[in-house]
C-alpha cells in the first residue's frame, strides 16, 4: 500500500457542526445553473484527474482536483516544455514533505471543457514524483481558485464532474451536509475510535490518496491507538519528496452519520507543522471520500455527501513494503522496506517489473491493483541487470 499527497497548505479557522437534510436546502437568491459536465479519471487512492488547457497554449494538460490545495499550480517541467513565462516571488508553499519558494504565472486563464476561468495566479512547483506514481504526466493541481467560484459535484459512480453557478442549490435526498470551516482548505469535524473514542478537526483533502491520517504528535498525546498493535513502516510522496510513515488501522471513523470500520490509517511526523497541532489531528483523504458523491458549495460553506455504489467497497489492507514508480517509461522498484514482504520475496532497488500475476500491461495502476491481495502468492517477473527473474510475493495485511 502506497499513498500520495498532491498538495496542501495550512490554514487556521474554527469548525461548525454538520446538518442532516431530507431534500432541498433553501437559500434566498438566484437558483444555481448547470454550466458544464465532463468526465474525470480516477487513480489509486481515489485521486481525481481532469484535462484542461492554460491560456493560448494548445496542449491538453492533466490536473489533479485537490481540496487540500489553497490555490492553483503548474508543474515546473510543463512550464519549461511550453515556454510559459513566470515571475519569481517571495511566497512559499508548505506540504507534507517540505516548504518551497515558488514562481508565479499571473493573470492566466484555465480552459476546462465548456468553461474558462480567468484572472488566475498559478504558482509553479515540481510534480515529477506525482507523475512517476500515477504513470501519467501531472501538469498541475487545481484547488481553491476553482472551487471557490462554483458549486462542484463529483459523481464517482459515473466519473462525472458537474459545475454549477453559485446560488440556491437542490441537493439529493438522503444525504448529509457538512459545515466546514473554510478560508482556502476545508476543515471538518470527525469522530474516530481505537483504544478510545476521540473527536477532532481534520483537513477534507481530495488530493490525498488515503483514507485517514494522524499526526504523530496527536497520536502520542491522545494515546488513541491500540498500544498492543505495532504499525508497519511505509513511505508516502508529496510536496517536497518522499517521507517515512507508519501504517495501521483504527477500529472506526465516523463522518456525520456515516461509520466505517477497520479504516487504514497513516501516522506521520509533522515536521513542517502542516496541521499546527493541537489545532488539527490530521486529514481525511479521498480513498474514504470517494465512497460518497460529493458536492462542494464553498459560497455557502457546505459540503454535501451522499453514499454511492463504492460506499461498502473493501479497504486496501495489503502491505508489500515496495515503492514502485515510473522511471524513464519503466515500472521500477525504488524502495524496499527492511523486513517487509517485498524484501522477503527478494526484491531489490532497481528491479524493473515486467509482469505481475501474468499481467504484461506495463500499467502501474493495474500492477498496484493486482498487488492489493493480502495473503495471496503473486508471481512477479522482474528485469534485474538484463536478466529475467521470477519472484513470488505474498502481500501482508495491516489488519
Peptide linkage before 277 cis (omega within 30 of 0): no
277: left (phi over 0), alpha (psi -120 to 50) or beta: beta
Distances (CA, A) of 110 to 53, 140, 145: 6, 11, 11
344, with CB counted inside 10 A (0-12, 13-18, 19+), is: middle
Rounded Cα distance, 169 and 67, in Å: 20
Please report the pLDDT score of residue 95 as a whole number: 63
Between CA 275 and CA 97 the distance in angstroms is: 13
Looking at the domain that runs over 176-289, which CATH code has it been given? 2.40.70.10
What's the burial of 390, exposed, middle or buried (CB within 10 Å: 0-12/13-18/19+)?
exposed
Is the CATH number 3.40.50.1220 carried by domain 318-397?
Answer: no
Integer CA distances (angstroms), 238 to 172, 174, 241, 377, in order: 34, 35, 6, 31
Q: Nine-digit cell at 171? A: 441537493
| Domain residue ranges in the chain | 3-164, 176-289, 318-397
Q: Divide the 399 residues of the chain into consecutive groups of 10 and give the mean pLDDT of each group.
A: 48 33 50 98 94 97 96 97 93 68 94 98 94 94 98 98 97 95 94 92 95 92 87 77 87 97 93 83 96 98 98 96 93 95 97 96 94 96 96 96
- 109 C-beta neighbours (distance < 10 Å), count: 13
- Domain 3-164 sits in CATH at 2.40.70.10
CA 321 to centroid of chain Cα atoms: 20
Grid cell listed for 4: 500520495
pLDDT of res. 100: 73
* pLDDT at site 242: 73
Write down the pLDDT at residue 98.
63
Distances (CA, A) of 393 to 110, 153, 372, 376: 44, 40, 11, 8
Domains 3-164 and 176-289 fall in the same CATH topology: yes
Residue 24: what pLDDT? 39
Alpha helices in 148-258 (DSSP H): 216-222
**pTM of the full structure:** 0.90
CA distance 131 to 119: 27
Amino acid at each position: 500500500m502506497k499513498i500520495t499527497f498532491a498538495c496542501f497548505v495550512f490554514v487556521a479557522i474554527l469548525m461548525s457542526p454538520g446538518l442532516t437534510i431530507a431534500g432541498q436546502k433553501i437559500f434566498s437568491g438566484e437558483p444555481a445553473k448547470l454550466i458544464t459536465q465532463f468526465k474525470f479519471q480516477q487513480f489509486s487512492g481515489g485521486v481525481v484527474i481532469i484535462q484542461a488547457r492554460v491560456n493560448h497554449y494548445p496542449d491538453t494538460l492533466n490536473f489533479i482536483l485537490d481540496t487540500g490545495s489553497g490555490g492553483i499550480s503548474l508543474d515546473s517541467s510543463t512550464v519549461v516544455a511550453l515556454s510559459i513565462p513566470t515571475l519569481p516571488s517571495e511566497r512559499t508553499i508548505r506540504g507534507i514533505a517540505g516548504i518551497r519558494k515558488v514562481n508565479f504565472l499571473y493573470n492566466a486563464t484555465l480552459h476546462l471543457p465548456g468553461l474558462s476561468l480567468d484572472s488566475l495566479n498559478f504558482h509553479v512547483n515540481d510534480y515529477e514524483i506525482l507523475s512517476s506514481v500515477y504513470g501519467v504526466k501531472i501538469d498541475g493541481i487545481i484547488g481553491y481558485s476553482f472551487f471557490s467560484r462554483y458549486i462542484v459535484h463529483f459523481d464517482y459512480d459515473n466519473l462525472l464532474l458537474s459545475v454549477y453557478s453559485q446560488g440556491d442549490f437542490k441537493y439529493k435526498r438522503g444525504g448529509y451536509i457538512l459545515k466546514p470551516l473554510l478560508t482556502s482548505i476545508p476543515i471538518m469535524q470527525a469522530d474516530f475510535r481505537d483504544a478510545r473514542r476521540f473527536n477532532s478537526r481534520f483537513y477534507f483533502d481530495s488530493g490525498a490518496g488515503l483514507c485517514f491520517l494522524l499526526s504523530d504528535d496527536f497520536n502520542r498525546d491522545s494515546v488513541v491507538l491500540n498500544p498492543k498493535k505495532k504499525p508497519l513502516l511505509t513511505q508516502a510522496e508529496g510536496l517536497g519528496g518522499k517521507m517515512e510513515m507508519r501504517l495501521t488501522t483504527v477500529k472506526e471513523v465516523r463522518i456525520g452519520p456515516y461509520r466505517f470500520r477497520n479504516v487504514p490509517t497513516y501516522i506521520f511526523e509533522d515536521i513542517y507543522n502542516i496541521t499546527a497541532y493541537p489545532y488539527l489531528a490530521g486529514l481525511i483523504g479521498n480513498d474514504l471520500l470517494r465512497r460518497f458523491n460529493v458536492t462542494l458549495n464553498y459560497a455557502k460553506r457546505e459540503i454535501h455527501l451522499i453514499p454511492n455504489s463504492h460506499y461498502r467497497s473493501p479497504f486496501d489492507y495489503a502491505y508489500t513494503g515496495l515503492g514502485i514508480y515510473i522511471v524513464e517509461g519503466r515500472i521500477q522498484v525504488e524502495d524496499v522496506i527492511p523486513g517487509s514482504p517485498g524484501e522477503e520475496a527478494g526484491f531489490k532497488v532497481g528491479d524493473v517489473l515486467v509482469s505481475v500475476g501474468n499481467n504484461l500491461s506495463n500499467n502501474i495502476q493495474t500492477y498496484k491493483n493486482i498487488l492489493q491481495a493480502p495473503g495471496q502468492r503473486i508471481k512477479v517477473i522482474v528485469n534485474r541487470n538484463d536478466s529475467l527473474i521470477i519472484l513470488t510475493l505474498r502481500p501482508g495485511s495491516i489488519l
